[in-house]
Amino acid sequence: MDRFDFFKYKRKNTPRFGPPILKGFFYSVFFLCANVLFGQEVAQFSIKNDKEIFYAPVSITLDGLNYNTDKANLVLYEILPQGKKFISSQLEAGHSARLWFILEGTTRPNTKRIFVLKQEESDPLQPTITARKNHQDLSLVKDDRSVFNYRFAMTYPPEGVNPLFRRSGFIHPIWSPGGEMLSRIQPPDHYHHYGIWGPWTRTTIDGRKVDFWNLASGQGTVRFAEFLSKTEGSIFSGFKALQQHIDFGAKGEDQVAMNEILDLRVWNNNNGVWIIDYTTTLNSPIPNGIMLNAYRYGGGLGFRATEKWHKDNCTVLTSEGKTRIDADGTSARWSIVEGESDTPEGRSGILFLSHPSNRMHPEPMRVWPMDANGGRGDMFFQFCPIRHHDWKLEPRQDYTLRYRMIVFDGEMDPQTAEKYWNSFATMPRVEILK
């Protein structure tokens, strides 16, 4: 029984005694104790989704709700016909606080679910994904399995290679849930390729051309500056890193052309895949801003795949039905990039999702042709928001691109990819009931 049913039971079964003021005192003390024992209800709310979603991280805003975590922890329950079910949740504080949780399994369209949020005295849930840092990498680890490494230390090219190819601030390796390494850095054909990363190629600063991608040009680079925060929780763990796009050609000292906040988080889902959010926010401190010129490479999110993959054992499939043969230069909401692996399933891959709020969404792509690298057909994939049009970044303004990666073993079909995209692109409607 909840605290209100318990209160009625006690009133019905407690003998009448003493003057009214004493009875009032007794009930007041009991009510305060019941609040502590059973938890203070903050809100009841419903969520309803228009499309089919799958293991979807969802959140509700806490703006306007009367709560204070100094008094007790926020605890979430789903109201079911058979009673209340505890739901793991995680508070994300900030300018607008949100409570995150995951809708496990498949949720059909127009499904309405009811939840109650309480404040209760309870022990905080232990993180399920941990961040482990050594002298060069920050690693996200789930159940003692590595998800990915973020390289914050400066990484130099092999001996004898132009040292201009050095850089920091990129993801490598990224592993499949079964332990297959999917990324590659500094391949001899392109020493400036770094796992999963997103520098800009052709840019213009005060009339000068600056290339942050082709490092050997000596015009610019991208460097890790500092970690702004790290988060470990029961629903997601991750970090925010400041990366700086350095312009070597400015008068005097090198200048920061763009400050980039890279927000990476891994979600604690339970369906055998990694769900990774990759959010990049750019802000230029230069008085006249920066022009990101249209080009077939640049920015967004780029992926240089494992050396194991070539034209005969890896594939691409986009939301528009394009394959590796004809995907380059087209636009898509999502793209499945998968290939041969040594896992029991025999294949592994990444589903790349572009958020509807991204510039030029559905987003243009760069996909290497089948005859890349002298006919070997190595795999390179990129969401490239400046593929067809320039993008001017005004000074001291934030510009954000959001991506999600679903890392899997086996094969992924278009129907599953579409459900994952729905889960990323749309947030269920939330209605506060009381």
Distance CA 231, CA 138 (A): 12
The residues pairing with 245 across neighbouring beta strands, listed in sequence order, are 222, 258
Amino acid 19: pLDDT: 52
Closest by Cα among 108, 103, 112 to 52: 108
Q: Characterize 94-129 residue by residue with b for buried, 16 or more Cβ atoms within 10 angstroms of its Cβ, and e for exposed.
A: eeebebbbbbeeebeeeeeeebbbbbbeeeeeebbb
Over its C-alpha atoms, the chain yields an Rg (Å, rounded) of: 26
DSSP string, 393-415: E-BT--EEEEEEEEEEES---HH
Which homologous superfamily is 40-122 in?
Answer: Golgi alpha-mannosidase II (2.60.40.1180)
CATH fold of 129-430, please?
Answer: Beta-galactosidase; Chain A, domain 5 (2.70.98)
Residue spans of the domains in the chain: they are: 3-38, 40-122, 129-430
Amino acid 57: pLDDT: 96
Closest by Cα among 401, 394, 388 to 294: 388
Strand arrangement, sheet containing 314-318? 220-231, 236-247, 255-267, 274-283, 399-409, 347-354, 334-340, 314-318
173-204 per-position pLDDT tens digit: 999 999 999 999 999 999 999 999 999 999 99
Distance CA 173, CA 382 (A): 17
Amino acid 38: pLDDT: 53
The stretches in the chain having pLDDT less than 70 are 1-38
Mutual orientation of helices 3-13 and 20-38 as an angle, nearest 10°?
Answer: 150
Distance CA 251, CA 245 (A): 16
